Amino acid sequence: MSTSEAGVQSTREGRVRWRRFAASMIGTGALSAALVALTAEGVLAVQFAISGIPFTVTADRLDGTGFAQWAELDHMAEGSPNEGDTGGQVVVIVSAIDQAELTNLCQSINMGGINMKITAGDTGTPVTARTLVVDSDDIAGNADFKNIEIGRDASTLDKVPGQRGLIGIFGQQADEVVITDLRQNNYATTAAAFTLPHLRMRFSSDGC
Amino acid sequence: MTDPSADPVGSVPAQAGPPDRENTVPAGHATVATHRRPREPRHRWRRWRRTRPFWGALFVILGAVEILVSMKVPLPIILHIGLQGLAGFIIPFVLLLSGIFLLFQPQHRMFYSIIAMVLALTTWITSNLGGFIIGMLLALIGASLAFAWSPRPVPATAPTDEAKTPELTDTRVDEPEHTAHRAGTAGT
């Protein structure tokens, strides 16, 4: 090499060896396919944390053990395109479920015109979720509670470990909950461990 | 991009290798004797890009950013989930760092690109199915590009026309790269 670039190895120009790239893509592609397959088998649990994007969740049936619900003010990121006329704040219902089983789950996330649609749990094995916390502004369905306490202060809720609201806010909780024909319009969801048997992800123009 | 008049300044002897499929600029002009450092900003930028796995690193960074954007959730909620919830942030963040290090420490690209591959796969579990698969795929493509990138071999003597022979393909081209890489790693 000429004197000006001699010595420092990293100053040499380079290129991509496409054969090596292809081998690497095949390797990582196979591993990703294995991950997707294990998730779709319901063997591998995945973790969700979505916020700020409105999305819809529907399920034929939700069986929850340990249920708590309270109201909260949800703030959007400043200048969020989803702000609309809400001034960036929405009153949301926070539902927390310690252990949940959902049959025939459909989740669609609106990503600016196109919907990312996820379906799972429609072949006999339900979707399971641990520490599922959902912020929704609209929940519909037929609910059936066991040992419900309505009007308990949100800060004293204890059915879902670690999940409670602020002091002085209306809250309710129950040992068990069964919701059929569930439909939620959510702003945020977190779940520590979500198994999604028979997972399918696709982009579609219509939601759930 | 394909500005042949720029080449006498921008080209270096190592460019005399097989025709480059990644960059569209013709790789000729190896016989030009002047190997001055490029002075114009545009040439310097181009040179900076070509001396590192630029596109690979860029894809890794884009993928990591996409995953982080899909994860924007108030921290208190994440902390409720616990350590596992925090991992959903940490893993795409370290993925972002590995993309940045691919740019600034290209001599360690093997290490960083393999780290990026492993982390990109991990985001499927920890971070919204890898940012709903998009970020994960971007990062995997980027990591593979960076993994497959290598500097052209140093010619044993001053570049001559026989170095242009395009039939001396990958196997031969790769060998000096490995030794050079090892030497480079040991030196740092």
Mean pLDDT of B90-103: 95
**A13-19: average pLDDT:** 90
State residue A13's pLDDT score: 86
Sign of CA dihedral B21, B23, B26, B29: negative
Say if residue B185's pLDDT is above 60: no
Model pLDDT for residues A18-33, shown as the tens digit of each residue: 999 999 999 999 999 9
Over the Cα atoms of chain B, what is R_g? Answer: 20
Q: Which residue has the higher pLDDT, B34 or B140?
A: B140
Are B120 and A28 in contact (CB < 8 Å)?
yes
Asked whether the ipTM of the predicted complex exceeds the cut of 0.85, the reply is no
Residue A161, amino acid: P
Task: Report the chain A residue with the minimal C-alpha distance to residue B46.
Answer: A13
Q: Left (φ > 0), alpha (ψ -120 to 50) or beta: where does B54 sit? A: alpha
Kindly tell me if the per-residue pLDDT of B186 is higher than 90: no
pLDDT at B17: 42
**Cβ contact A35–B78 (<8 Å):** no
Collapsing DSSP to helix, strand or coil, A125 comes out as: coil
Q: How confident is the model at residue B157 (pLDDT cuts 50, 70, 90)?
A: low
Phi, psi of B71 (to 5 degrees): -100, 5
Lowest pLDDT segment from A90-104, B3-17, B92-106: B3-17
Provide the pLDDT for residue A55: 82
Which two three-digit tokens encode residue B181? 């890489």
Q: Which of B12, B21, B125 sits opposite A13 (nearest CB)?
A: B12
**CA of B162 vs chain A CAs: smallest distance (Å):** 16
Say whether pLDDT at A53 is over 70.
yes
Interface of B with A in 65-84 (CB under 8 A): 70-74, 77-78, 80-82, 84
Cβ(A47)–Cβ(B88) below 8 Å: yes
Span A170-193, mean pLDDT?
Answer: 88
| The pLDDT of residue A85 is above 60 | yes
Is B124 in Cβ contact with A39 (below 8 Å)?
yes
CB contact under 8 A, B132 and A188: no
Q: Is B156 on the interface with A (CB under 8 A)?
A: no
Contact A21 B148 (CB under 8 A): yes
Contact criterion met (CB < 8 Å) for A12 and B52:
no
Quote the pLDDT of residue A47. Answer: 85
The residue in chain B having the minimum alpha-carbon distance to the alpha carbon of residue A130 is B81
Which of A12, A16, A46 is opposite residue B22, by nearest beta carbon? A16
Over range B15-32, report the average pLDDT.
Answer: 44
The better pLDDT of the pair B64, B183 is held by B64
Share of chain A above pLDDT 90, in %: 28
CB pairs under 8 A between A and B: 172
Render pLDDT for B124-137 as a digit per residue (tens, 0 to 9): 998 888 988 899 99
Nearest Cβ partner for A15 among B107, B140, B152: B152
pLDDT digit string, tens, across residues B59-85: 999 999 999 888 776 666 566 556 667
pLDDT in tens, A104-153: 999 888 777 788 888 998 888 899 998 888 888 888 899 888 888 888 88
Percent of chain A with pLDDT over 70: 87
Give burial (CB, 10 Å; 0-12/13-18/19+) of B110. Answer: middle
Q: Kind and range of the H or E element at A87? A: none
For chain A, give the mean pLDDT: 83
Contacts of B71 in chain A (CB under 8 A): 49
Q: Is B107 on the interface with A (CB under 8 A)?
A: yes
Q: Does B7 touch chain A (CB under 8 A)?
A: no
pLDDT at A43: 86
Helix, strand, coil percentages in chain A from 3-state DSSP, rounded to 5: 15, 55, 30
Residues of A in contact with B132 (CB under 8 A): 109, 116, 201
